[in-house]
């Protein structure tokens, strides 16, 4: 003698408990002769009332509300399924439970068992009849357990009870199963879902189960993860709640990503300009910023007259030496040549060796590590780095959705940002002047390269480099 399955035992137990409590009753109104002989020709026009079929559904779903057929009926009532589909008719839904789900022994299946035999002429049993390929309740529960015990997916939190017959914390098998399989349709546990949704009529009747988009426009399932280039208006972007459900929302998302990329480029340009300003300030005060006439020659004339700047004399002269004068932006190289033909080279002393005794400096073992001004600048560098990296990585994750429209929007935003702010790093400098000192008794030829003068206006000529001197 074959041993009954655990699922059958659970089913019998549930039905007995419900019957003892008096909560369910068998199908009623079964006095018509077609209930005893549904194959008679006269039964071709027989119709059981919709109220009687609905009463049977109430009885079945009161006993086991987690059954697949009950979830299908709930979607039909809520407008999430196509109510005009014949598979939403009460007679078909009763058949989905009693026949497809093998629950024929339950209270509420008596009328369907009597009318819908293999030889029946009753049209309600034939058109449309039982929905094809409806997954069974117990197999669906086993598939959900297989997914949720190996993956931590959205939807598993709604079915925490594990076990093929444990439905205590898993009330909506149909909806949970569809959500899992829509997210990752290629899982082996989703074969029954694929078979069900391969029927175009069923997929149109129950769109929420097959695509996550209900007939009333609502959506319960997250879109699937597509790890290839694709174009879709419905994808997950950064957060589970960021799922555009219409073309307008998708266009708005693309525009937002484009603007965010432009803003990121703007922040990078701002940091570059700030770094240039800090670099200029760190090299010290500028001589040419104090020019009265805005002309380097005027400043050089004054310097020559006051004797504050020496030049390069012939080698045999006792005054032959390099005289150090303040330079534009403190070493930026905008030293100027006096009008009398002498040369004024820039200072060759390293910036960190100029002066001593800086206030607020952090030192260790007599070695200065960082000054208060440097610490303040480093703080703002850290803030800039955090914000820019956060935006960069967020945009990278958005691009990793492989959504073509969003990728183009982000790349277009970076391109627009480069078009608007790409010049932020440019720093035009003045011309390099090459002058030769007179030849002395030793017949040595000394050459000094002097960078053209310019005032510190945040760009031209300030610390442009190239102020080194050399001997040919």
pLDDT of residue 363: 66
pLDDT bucket at 222, cuts 50 / 70 / 90: low
pLDDT of residue 215: 53
- Any idea what DSSP says for residue 86? G
Give the H/E segment covering residue 434. strand 432-436
Q: Is the pTM of this model over 0.75?
A: no
Residue 195 near residue 154, CB atoms below 8 Å? no
pLDDT of residue 20: 42
Give the H/E segment covering residue 373. helix 372-399
Tens digit of each residue's pLDDT (9 = 90 or more) over 339-391: 555 544 444 444 444 444 455 666 677 677 788 888 888 999 999 999 999 99
Phi, psi of 333 (to 5 degrees): 100, 10
Domain ranges of the chain: 6-210, 226-348+380-472
| Cis before 128? omega within 30 | yes
User: Residue 428: CB partners within 8 Å, gap ≥ 6?
Assistant: 459, 460, 461
Which residue did the predictor score with more confidence, 260 or 452?
A: 260
């Amino acid at each position: 003698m074959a041993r009954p399955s655990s699922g059958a035992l659970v089913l019998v137990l549930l039905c007995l408990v419900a019957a003892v409590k008096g909560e369910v009753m068998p199908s009623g109104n079964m006095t018509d002769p077609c209930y005893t002989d549904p194959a008679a020709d006269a039964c071709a026009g027989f119709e059981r009332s919709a109220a009687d079929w609905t009463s049977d559904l109430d009885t079945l779903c009161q006993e086991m509300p987690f059954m697949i057929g009950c979830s299908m009926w709930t979607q039909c009532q809520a407008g999430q399924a196509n109510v005009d589909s014949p598979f939403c008719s009460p007679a078909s839904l009763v058949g989905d439970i009693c026949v497809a789900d093998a629950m024929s022994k339950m209270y509420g299946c008596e009328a369907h068992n009597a009318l819908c035999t293999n030889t029946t002429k009753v049209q309600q049993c034939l058109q449309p009849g039982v929905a094809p390929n409806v997954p069974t309740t117990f197999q669906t529960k086993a598939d959900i357990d297989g997914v949720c015990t190996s993956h931590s997916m959205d939807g598993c939190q709604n079915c925490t009870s594990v076990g093929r017959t444990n439905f205590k914390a898993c009330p909506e098998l149909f909806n949970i199963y569809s959500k899992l399989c829509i997210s990752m349709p290629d899982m082996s546990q989703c074969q029954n879902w694929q078979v069900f949704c391969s029927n175009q009529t069923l997929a149109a009747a129950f769109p929420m189960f097959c695509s996550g988009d209900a007939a009333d426009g609502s959506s319960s399932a997250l879109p699937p993860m597509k790890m290839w280039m694709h174009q879709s208006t419905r994808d997950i972007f950064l957060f589970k709640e960021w799922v555009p459900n219409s073309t307008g929302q998708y266009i708005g998302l693309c525009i937002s990503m484009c603007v965010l990329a432009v803003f990121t480029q703007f922040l990078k340009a701002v940091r570059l300009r700030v770094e240039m300003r800090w670099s200029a300030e760190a090299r010290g005060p500028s001589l040419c910023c104090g020019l009265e006439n805005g002309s380097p020659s005027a400043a050089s004339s004054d310097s020559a007259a006051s004797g504050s700047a020496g030049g390069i004399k012939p080698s045999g002269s006792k005054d032959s030496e390099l005289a150090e004068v303040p330079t534009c932006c403190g070493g930026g190289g905008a030293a100027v040549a006096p009008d009398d033909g002498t040369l004024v080279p820039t200072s060759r002393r390293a910036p960190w060796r100029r002066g001593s005794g800086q206030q607020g400096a952090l030192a260790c073992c007599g070695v200065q590590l960082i000054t208060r001004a440097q610490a303040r600048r480093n703080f703002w560098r850290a803030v800039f780095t955090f914000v820019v990296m956060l935006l960069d990585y967020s945009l990278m994750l958005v691009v990793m959705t492989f959504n073509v429209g969003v990728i183009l929007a982000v790349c277009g935003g970076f391109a627009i940002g480069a078009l608007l702010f790409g010049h932020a790093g440019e720093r035009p400098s003045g011309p390099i002047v090459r002058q030769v000192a007179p030849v002395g008794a030793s017949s040595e030829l000394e050459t000094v390269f002097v960078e053209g003068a310019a005032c510190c206006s945040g760009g031209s000529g300030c610390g442009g480099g190239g102020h080194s001197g050399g001997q040919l």
